[in-house]
Amino acid sequence: MELRSRSVHFKLVEESDAEFILSLRSDANLNSYLSKTDASIDDQKKWIRDYKIRETEKREFYFIICRNDNGQSVGTVRLYDFITTTNSFCWGSWILNSNKTKFAAIESAFLVYQFAFEELNFEKSHFDVRKENSKVIAFHEKMGAEKKSETELDYYFEVQKEHVYNARYKYLKFISSLKEDFK
């Protein structure tokens, strides 16, 4: 399945992306609400090599978000923790740097759901967001996600396929790949 939207597309992570991933995860403007990453390129490469085995087994998918206009890598997103009993997947490692396109956030979220619901046949998604990450919480709630539980640090959300599909109509103008790319 080609995962391409109006201004961004996904490509599967490769070992050669280690430096870019590290640059995102060590950026103080972006990592306040992310789990800490080992700062060595070699460890990051090893992590990616281990991940590629899980990718072959279709247990996890880690994507680089790239701009359509110049191919530049602008972010990451990852689907993991696939639960067959509840037909639910988790997503995260969602980061976009300052070279992102204006609607890369909405487009990449819908590409995640498109891949998960249409290609992997999941029915819902679960994910956690740091309580202080209010912008991202608002983003997910606008898409129909509901808080299911919480710890001291995090909210645990769930969103049903049906709610994402309903939201998709509202956002069609952002995600359509038929219109010209724009910044």
Ligand X SMILES: CC(C)(COP(=O)(O)OP(=O)(O)OC[C@H]1O[C@@H](n2cnc3c(N)ncnc32)[C@H](O)[C@@H]1OP(=O)(O)O)[C@@H](O)C(=O)NCCC(=O)NCCS
By CB under 6 A, name the binding residues for ligand X. Answer: 30, 33-34, 92, 94-96, 100, 102-103, 105-106, 129, 133, 135-136, 139, 142
Which residue in the shown chain puts its C-beta closest to ligand X?
105
**What totals of helices (H) and strands (E) does the chain contain, helices first?**
6, 7
Q: How far is the CB of 56 from ligand X (least distance, A)?
A: 26
Q: Which is nearer to ligand X, 13 or 46 (CB)?
A: 13
Q: Which is nearer to ligand X, 102 or 148 (CB)?
A: 102
Q: How far is the CB of 97 from ligand X (least distance, A)?
A: 7
Task: Say how far apart CA 107 and CA 103 lie, in whole Å.
Answer: 6
Q: How far is the CB of 131 from ligand X (least distance, A)?
A: 11
Q: Which is nearer to ligand X, 129 or 159 (CB)?
A: 129
Q: Which is nearer to ligand X, 46 or 139 (CB)?
A: 139
Q: How far is the CB of 107 from ligand X (least distance, A)?
A: 9
Report the side by side order of strands in the sheet with 61-67: 8-12, 61-67, 73-83, 88-96, 124-130, 154-160, 146-150
Q: Which is nearer to ligand X, 45 or 100 (CB)?
A: 100
Q: Which two tokens stand for residue 109?
A: 């979220």
For residues 80 and 91, is the Cβ–Cβ distance under 8 A?
yes
Q: Which two tokens stand for residue 98?
A: 């300052």
DSSP 125: E
Residue whose C-alpha is closest to residue 113's, from 126, 130, 129: 126
Q: How far is the CB of 77 from ligand X (least distance, A)?
A: 8
Place of tokens 């498109």: 114
Q: Which residues contact 76 (CB under 8 A, 6 or more apart)?
A: 13, 21, 24, 62, 63, 64, 65, 93, 94, 95
